[in-house]
Amino acid sequence: MPEGDTIHRVAARLRPALAGARLVRFEAPRLVGARPRPGETVEAVEAAGKHLLIRFSGGLTLETHLRMAGSWHLYRTGERWRRPVHLLRCLVEVEGWQAACFSAPVVRTFPTAATGTVDDPTAHLGPDLCVDHPDPDGVVRTVLDRLAALDPSTQLGEALLDQRVAAGVGNVYKSEVCWHERVDPFVPLGRVDEATRERLVRTAARLLRANLGPGRRRTVAEGLAVYGRRGSPCRRCGTRISSDVRGELARVTYWCPTCQHPA
């Protein structure tokens, strides 16, 4: 599943082609909600955590969530697509450009006026850690308050993945952040003191924002510290990296048994 930094990169790639342009064609064979009409203007292309939002002048916002298999592509009009048409889930065409979304399981629209209300499908999200907020300390405080509201028996890694707490952290950053702060990802949240929680939140925000630009994702100079490196030496102590599948969603976690030994 794409992390928040991936969706912000997608928005940054689509925005110059779509924002301010007139809609020529809109297709979405499995769309939930009303359809924007040709002739409307694309007013904005935004990311909210792992959700991509495209806002139209007619009063609708298109929301897509890519989950595991989805992807957005940008093509010049007439350029050959790199994915088969039967996988198309949404096409936003403006003069000169086609933004095509393939295989996304969530493609829906909602009234832009409902943004921030119960009818906004992104209203449940916590602060987006990919965004450089004007009050970063206030954002951290909000995230800490939301962590404090969770069941203290929740594993730390699962808490970091909870988009209601903070938006943007996915499976990669869950593992990477815990490694950076030398914390066992399976420790119950109730055993993690507030100072450690704050470090985890600030590190997550720092790593996400450091990867908003082009190039390969890096959390250490060599690339990734632990994610996808089962059996390889820890970049800090040399111990072989472990991995395991746990939690309700059966997600894989990577960690160093020495650096992140349970307290």
- Residue 88: C-alpha distances to residues 30, 49, 92, 103 (Å): 10, 23, 11, 6
Active site residues: 2-3, 50, 251
Q: What is the rounded CA–CA span in Å between residue 242 and residue 186?
A: 13
DSSP 113: G
Which pLDDT score, from 0 to 100, does residue 263 have? 64
pLDDT tens over the chain, length 263 residues: 689 999 999 999 999 999 999 999 999 999 999 999 999 999 999 999 999 999 999 999 999 999 889 999 999 999 999 999 999 999 999 999 999 999 999 999 999 999 999 999 999 999 999 999 889 999 999 999 999 999 999 999 999 999 999 999 999 999 999 999 999 999 999 999 999 999 999 999 999 999 999 899 999 999 999 999 999 999 999 999 999 997 666 789 999 999 998 86
Cβ burial 48-59 (10 Å sphere, 16+ → b, else e): bbbbbbbbbeee
Question: C-alpha angle with apex 221: 220 to 226, nearest 5 degrees?
Answer: 35
Predicted model pTM:
0.92
CB under 8 Å to 12, separation ≥6 — which residues?
A: 212
Q: What is the rounded CA–CA span in Å between residue 238 and residue 260?
A: 13
Cβ burial 160-184 (10 Å sphere, 16+ → b, else e): bbebebbbbbbbbbbbbbbbbbebb
